[in-house]
Amino acid sequence: MNLISHSPDLNVPLRQRARVATESELDAVPWLKLLRPSERAQAVSDLRVADAEGGEFVCKIGRPANFWFGVVDGLLKMSNDSSLGPPITFTGVPPGAWFGEGTLLKRESYRYNIEALRKSAVAGLPAQTFEWLLERSIPFNRYLMNQLNERLSQFIAAREIDRLTDPDTRVARSLASLFHPVLYPGVGTVLRITQQELAYLVGLSRQRVNEALQHLQQEGAIYVEYGGVQVLDLARLQRYGTAGN
């Protein structure tokens, strides 16, 4: 469901365009249900959502981390500073994802850029509220620990993907990473993504991504829909390219 009903004024900074979250947007925040009523009330009171346009930055390298961010709707990408070397996309960030907790915990500035690939609704929890929950909620702490552990595994897998030379395997493994049930619980079995957006994330041409998707569909791992991809066999995508696949 598209939660964005209007185009924002890009002359106004994203933070200043933030608004109170709707009930449906709050329902999409996975960690809220873990909190006690008083904690949830405080988090809901401080949580804000902003509508970002495609190409707009949510985070930029060197800026201080003042919020913990989550994707309510749309698609973001995490990348390096291309002015210092070749452009590298670290990962896509689909609905249900929350990111930036490591930067907040270390009280650092951002070491990566987060850019909207298309119109996206992005939630932000102020750093003060994030720290307040850390001090009070054991379930919230466990959620963060699980996030950090899963993200470490994800980035190890991403390094492996970068070294793959077979395009079909790159696309299969990259797709599998976007369907991570813990990091991206809002995706489900269907990811709304265009072939051009996937090409940006994988680092291949749109034409080559299209060929790979057709191959994966013929093998029964996915089903290509208009504007999206449905995963039929996630385990097969995760091990694609290995012996015995």
What beta strand segments (E) does the chain contain? Answer: 19-20, 48-52, 57-59, 67-73, 76-79, 89-93, 98-99, 113-116, 120-126, 190-191, 222-225, 228-231
Sign of CA dihedral 218, 221, 223, 227: negative
- pLDDT tens digits in sequence order for the chain, 245 residues long: 344 445 555 567 788 889 999 999 999 999 999 999 999 999 999 999 999 999 999 999 999 999 999 999 999 998 876 666 666 777 889 999 999 999 999 999 998 899 999 999 999 999 999 999 999 999 999 999 999 988 888 777 767 776 767 889 989 988 998 998 888 888 888 999 999 999 988 888 999 999 999 999 999 999 999 889 999 999 999 888 775 56
Cα(201)–Cα(195) distance, integer angstroms: 10
Model-wide pTM > 0.85: no
Q: Domain 165-238 class? A: mainly alpha
The domain limits of the chain are: 14-156, 165-238
Match domain 14-156 to its CATH number in 2.60.120.10, 1.20.1560.10, 3.20.80.10, 3.30.420.40: 2.60.120.10
Cα(86)–Cα(81) distance, integer angstroms: 8
Cα(119)–Cα(182) distance, integer angstroms: 24
Radius of gyration, alpha carbons of the chain: 18
